[in-house]
Amino acid sequence: MKIIQAIKKFSEPFVFNDGLNGKHLKNPLVLVFGNRFMLEDEHIYEEVKALFNDAHVVFGSTSGEIIDETVLDGTIVLTAIEFEKSSILVHRSNVDEHDNNDEKLGEHLMAKFPQEQIKHLFVISEGSTVNGSALIQGLEKNKHSYIGLSGGLCGDDDRFERTLVSYNESPKEGEIVAIGFYGSSLEITSANFGGWTPFGPERLITKSQGNKLYELDGKPALDLYKNYLGEKAKELPKSALLYPLSVRANDASEPLVRTILNIDNEENAMILAGDVPTGSKVQLMMSSVDDIVNGAFCAAEQAMNGRKKSPNIALLVSCIGRKLVMDQRTEEEIEEVKSVIGEDTYITGFYSYGEMAPFKGQDQCKLHNQTMTLTLFSE
């Protein structure tokens, strides 16, 4: 596996870590994570494409860019990977092509991948309108249990305006890109961990539809949430990232964390990143910097557990809510990850509106919020 990385600042060219461009790489996978405004530049795809021959270029907008142990804002980070003993296959789809039925979209996307010798599917999804849990449900519907699945919902800092994704074209809205990794030489592991603690009364979801939450204990959910936030309610949906919801369905062994993507004042409802089933029990959650840093350490330990080889590269997807809590100490969680996975492992990734990975000891992928998610690759 050959890997090179570069950083682009506003109105400047890409600067590679080894001083070279990517012309020497053969059919590389080029992951480009960046600030939404910079990805809106009409020339960004041509600029990246000019650096490589026959590349698979995947874009995703972020709420912060991760490269090595550094967290950046207002930049673009690029990681190009040449797989020497294995292969990749990339497919894309758009929410508009499936009447905004995210489960059907996921099912359609998974059907494009031959399942013989596939090891893992990494998904980079638009994050502003998609129901992430419905998307995963569609991806999982006809997926063999031995195929790993992880990824994330793209971000737009804390604006929640629009997110951009694309494969071999200019970044655009509504796109979901899936990357399939094939070959017996690959070792791929993934894990996630949060570090958030429930507090306050447990309430019952009495009215919801998909990822839209209407009532808790028979009362308007948005009103209850605004009452709790007080003055911070004026900053919704941004302020909701500091107080996510722990959602435990009756048939679930593990609670899921959900954050608010948007609010619907007309219907007095909250729109979350994934499903919030009626009959589930919810609690507010909070965290500290130390708890978040420890959560990142635990996620890295879980991803490394049982591995036969040290990872060549780590793809990190961490939640924007974690970044808001940590503020100037954000890089500490990346440093904790690096201390576990090794100094020689390349690191890239982004801060997201949602993370995709299985729970520890489980095969089926779930949508998470407020977690650090790692996917580790070696060849």
Q: Which residues pair with 182 in a beta bridge?
A: 87, 118
Chain centroid offset of residue 69 CA = 18
Contact between 347 and 66 (Cβ < 8 Å)? yes
- Each residue of 204-253: pLDDT tens digit? 999 999 999 999 999 999 998 998 888 988 898 888 888 899 999 877 66
- Each residue of 135-165: pLDDT tens digit? 999 999 989 989 999 999 999 999 989 999 9
| DSSP annotation of 359 | P
Which residue's entry shows tokens 């308007």?
A: 220
Total H helices, total E strands in the chain: 8, 26
Mean pLDDT of the chain: 94
The model's pTM: 0.92
Say what the pLDDT of residue 249 is: 86
Peptide bond connecting 28 to the previous residue in cis, omega within 30 degrees of 0: no
Contact between 185 and 312 (Cβ < 8 Å)? no
CA of 137: how far to CAs of 46, 101, 356, 370, in Å? 35, 11, 11, 20
| DSSP annotation of 258 | E
Name the percent of the chain lying above pLDDT 70: 99
d(CA 377, CA 249): 33
φ/ψ of 51, rounded to 5, equals -85, -10
Q: Which amino acid belongs to residue 114?
A: P
| DSSP annotation of 186 | -
Q: Which of 2, 123, 120 is nearest to 52 (CA)?
A: 2
Per-residue pLDDT averaged across 49-61, rounded? 95
Residue 214's H or E segment, with its range, is strand 212-216
- Each residue of 307-357: pLDDT tens digit? 999 999 999 999 999 999 999 999 999 999 999 999 999 999 999 999 999
The domain locations on the chain are 2-193+290-378, 197-286
d(CA 172, CA 169): 9
Q: Which of 216, 282, 274 is nearest to 247 (CA)?
A: 282
